[in-house]
Amino acid sequence: MIKGLERINELAKKEREEGLTKAEMVEQTVLQQDYLREIRGQVLNTVSGMTVLDPLGNDVTPEKVREQKKLQGDQEVK
């Protein structure tokens, strides 16, 4: 499970039921931003790891995906 998701849900429930303090609103925003950053990273990893083939078996992977795959490969080597 993604770190902080349980707390995000707790704050969402409290917001619906009784409202949040300013400190809780700030905490909620920070946690949501961290969550989105994590999800975007997972999607980027998934997309950059794929190869697109046409019906004839030719590699037609978009150039942006190839570049991202190359960047990630360079980062893993370090």
Give strand pairing partners of 59.
53
pTM as predicted = 0.70
Read off φ and ψ for residue 59, nearest 5 degrees.
-75, 115
3-state SS string over 32-67?
HHHHHHHHHHHHHHHHHCCCCECCCCCECCCHHHHH
Per-residue pLDDT at 5 exceeds 60: yes
Per-residue pLDDT at 65 exceeds 70: yes
Distance CA 37, CA 78 (A): 22
**Pair 4, 34: CB distance under 8 Å:** yes
Per-residue pLDDT at 2 exceeds 80: no
pLDDT score recorded for residue 28:
97
* 6-47 confidence digits (pLDDT tens): 999 999 999 999 999 999 999 999 999 999 999 999 998 888
